[in-house]
Amino acid sequence: MNLESEKVRNVALVAHGGAGKTSLAEAMIFNSGETNRMGRVEDGNTIMDYDEEERKRSASINSSFYQYKWKKNIISLIDTPGDQNFFSDAKTSLPAADGAVVVIESASGVEVRTEQAVQFAKDNEQPCVAFINKLDQERSDYRKAFQSAVDQLEPKPILLQLPLGEKGDFKGVVDLIANKAFVYKDGKATATDIPADMADDVEAERAELIENIAEADDELLERYLEGGEIADSELIKALQTGTKNRQFMPVLLGSATHNIGVDLLSDFIVNCMPTPLERKPFKAKDSSGNEIEVKVDANAPLAGFVFKTIVDPYAGRLSVFKIVTGTLTKDGSLYNVNKSAKERYTQLLILQGKEQKTIDQAGPGTIVAFAKLKETFTGDSLCADNNKIEFEKTKPIAPVISFAVEATKQGDEDKIYSSLTRLQEEDSALYLSRNAETKEILVSGVGMIHIEATIEKVKRKFNVEMALKAPKVPYRETVKKKVRVQGRHKKQSGGHGQFGDCWIQMEPLPRGGGFEFVDAIVGGSVPRNYIPAIEKGIVETAVRGCLAGFPCVDFKVTLDDGSYHAVDSSEMAFKIAGALAFKKASETAGPVLLEPIMKVSVIAPDDFTGDIMGDLNSRRGRVLGMDSEGKYQIINANVPMSEILMYASDLNSMTGARGTFTMELSHYDEVPGEIASKIVEKVKAEQEAAK
């Protein structure tokens, strides 16, 4: 397969889950002659959804790839997930495409993931074409679907086709530019005259289309407004220009499962979507760290970026690579800018579903894959030694839900972290951490189903089973009063005894003040060599506070007196004395429980702001303010972590999955007395049960 840049069209299929992206990909590939059958998502036999978990769920959970020939060109498809739990893969894969095919389900119209995907394309300055799918279904309504696109999407959607028949009688489309009808039978189109009963509608829609397209060309618009004739060839040229420049979003119609209108979509892609050489430049940094823009260029030294990693059971780790400049041959070496490491590859691959095919070379703008690179992962830039460019990474969607994981089989504890780490290689939205305070392994993701699918994959690939549980909240303790106490350790047994004696003042510090130790000894009442031991005894004991065993923070200790024994005193004795002093002081200095407060930013349409703020208040949250971002509102609030651990599913229910949020630790604050008492009781009961 000759991957010449001017012959390639890299397009991503994007949409809300269930719109029919994978079925559309199946029909496009089938029409090319690459396969002799169209797979069905429901039957689990599609080319693009080949992962066992995808077949089980009848939905895409990973981006998949296929390159096929279409009328002397190469269409390179990226079929992206539309489910919220796996949607981060759509975001990180989209920059490798040069345009997007936005699939809209005819009965549902534009849904939230479709809207988000179009925003991602806008962020990447990529042109879009929309395909209203499933016009054969009983609840289909292309007018309603098109209007939802007009109301919610940018750039302006313009209708290129009208349907022949409705619902179960849907049999083809009318092309408004060619002024022809195309009737389909078994996926094959026959051009016919436009039915007489549609003539008036076609004439009105064609007139509106011509005006919309003419707006992309000042000369055409002027001629149109003056009543002059516009040739079809001029319309097509203006359609190409307006599409590539994001002046409008053409809208086509069809049914992927019945293979109606799919060939016309492939025609549109090769005729009107940009080649890699025509796409907007990529943002990057040069070897000096200066921000630059990099155009797709065959004559520049090699540079590109890995945007997807696939862990293949046979080929090992596959790195999917977007060539931006230069040409790749079938083997060679590359420089990983992010890792400052050289990588050697021995095969150049293209991906066709789960299959890989070797090729001899590939030009700029094309998508290829390498097997078994040692140091390279998603987001890394690979370049020639003399062209060290670091491309801007696309940030995955931030995790919104976390669970603690633990092995269900004894002996599997060490395998958990290593297995999850392997999965992170192919899922950049998966976040893994160890909480030193709670001693838990935490796995974080975009949603509950995302986490569950990850656990299932670990079980299937690595034979490691684990259980999920809500993570422990990392509470802390502090004191509210100033006290002065004595810590005295005296023990006499045969031979030398043990003696350490110290007086300390304990007082609170401002929130976030940590720990401060002051040596105020005068007159040598405690020898200098024993003072560090007292501080060490306090620090080690403060790891477990007196209320419920949480770390004690934000306090100051002043050592102001003590005594020693010339023979029996030792560092260990004074360390124990310091520990005893801390215990006594923390019990009498008004100990209180502190909880982590999260800074939460909720983004949702204006209609939901009242419900969201009411809900945040019910979670002991404090709303800090609101900002606007287009038609969305951003609600900023501080909310206790314990009240928001499972917020993702609640927000989905509240907003119909139209709301998203991010959160980060803001500070620690005192837990209200009644709630603190319940927490302490619960912790102590758990400690008793564990004995």
Instruction: Spell out a b/e string for 431-461, using b for 16 or more CB atoms within 10 Å of the CB, else e.
Output: bbeeeeeeebbbbbbbbbbbbebbbebbeee
Structure tokens at 234: 């001029």
- Please state, rounded to an integer, the average pLDDT across all residues of the chain: 92
For the segment 266-280, the average pLDDT, to the nearest whole number, is 96
pLDDT at 256 over 90: yes
pLDDT at 2 over 70: no
As a dihedral over the C-alpha atoms of residue 42, residue 46, residue 52, residue 53, rounded to 10 degrees, the angle is -60
Residue 347 identity: Q
Which domains does the chain carry? Answer: 5-278 (3.40.50.300), 283-391 (2.40.30.10), 401-469 (3.30.70.870), 477-589 (3.30.230.10), 595-674 (3.30.70.240)
For the segment 396-408, the average pLDDT, to the nearest whole number, is 90
pLDDT at 401 over 80: yes
Look at residue 155 and give its three-state secondary structure. Answer: coil
Q: What is the pLDDT of residue 684?
A: 87
Question: Which among 394, 121, 120 is positioned nearest to 279, based on CA atoms?
Answer: 121
Cα(517)–Cα(328) distance, rounded to whole angstroms? 62
Question: Which among 596, 598, 594 is positioned nearest to 639, based on CA atoms?
Answer: 598
| 615-151-278 Cα angle (round to 5) | 110
Handedness of CA 462, 463, 464, 466 (dihedral sign): positive
The answer to whether 432 and 421 are in contact (CB under 8 A) is: yes
The β-bridge relationship of strands 8-14 and 99-105 is parallel
pLDDT at 3 over 80: no
Q: What is the pLDDT of residue 27?
A: 97
The answer to whether 337 and 392 are in contact (CB under 8 A) is: no
For the segment 103-124, the average pLDDT, to the nearest whole number, is 94
**pLDDT of 485-511, one tens digit each?**
999 999 987 667 899 999 999 999 999
- What is the pTM assigned to this prediction? 0.84
**Alpha carbon of residue 528 to chain centroid:** 55
The answer to whether 456 and 660 are in contact (CB under 8 A) is: no
Eight-state DSSP code of residue 450: H
Residue indicated by tokens 């690595």? 462
Eight-state DSSP code of residue 255: B
Structure tokens at 414: 């060490």
Contacts of 239 (CB under 8 A, 6+ apart): 177, 213, 216, 250, 272
pLDDT at 314 over 80: no
The β-bridge relationship of strands 249-253 and 128-133 is parallel
The answer to whether 25 and 351 are in contact (CB under 8 A) is: no
Helix ranges, 463-556 (H)? 531-542
Q: Which of 37-41, 155-159, 348-352 has the lowest mean pLDDT?
A: 37-41
Instruction: State the pLDDT confidence band at 313, using cuts at 50, 70 and 90.
Output: low
Q: What is the pLDDT of residue 417?
A: 87
Instruction: State the pLDDT confidence band at 609, using cuts at 50, 70 and 90.
Output: very high
Q: ω into residue 157 within 30 of 0, thus cis?
A: no
Q: What is the pLDDT of residue 580?
A: 97
Q: What is the pLDDT of residue 163?
A: 97
As a dihedral over the C-alpha atoms of residue 204, residue 205, residue 211, residue 213, rounded to 10 degrees, the angle is -160
Q: What is the pLDDT of residue 228?
A: 81
Instruction: State the pLDDT confidence band at 632, using cuts at 50, 70 and 90.
Output: confident
Instruction: State the pLDDT confidence band at 426, using cuts at 50, 70 and 90.
Output: confident
**pLDDT of 69-94, one tens digit each?**
999 999 999 999 999 899 999 999 99
Look at residue 100 and give its three-state secondary structure. Answer: strand
Look at residue 645 and give its three-state secondary structure. Answer: coil
For the segment 100-127, the average pLDDT, to the nearest whole number, is 95
Q: What is the pLDDT of residue 691?
A: 66
Residue 550 identity: F
Question: Which among 92, 153, 102, 80 is positioned nearest to 124, based on CA atoms?
Answer: 92
The answer to whether 324 and 305 are in contact (CB under 8 A) is: yes
pLDDT at 630 over 80: no
Contacts of 85 (CB under 8 A, 6+ apart): 61, 445, 446, 447, 448, 449, 450, 453
The answer to whether 91 and 120 are in contact (CB under 8 A) is: yes
**pLDDT of 332-380, one tens digit each?**
999 999 999 999 999 999 999 999 999 999 999 999 999 999 999 999 9
Helix ranges, 382-524 (H)? 413-424, 448-462
pLDDT at 657 over 90: no
- Total count of residues recorded for the chain: 691
pLDDT at 1 over 90: no
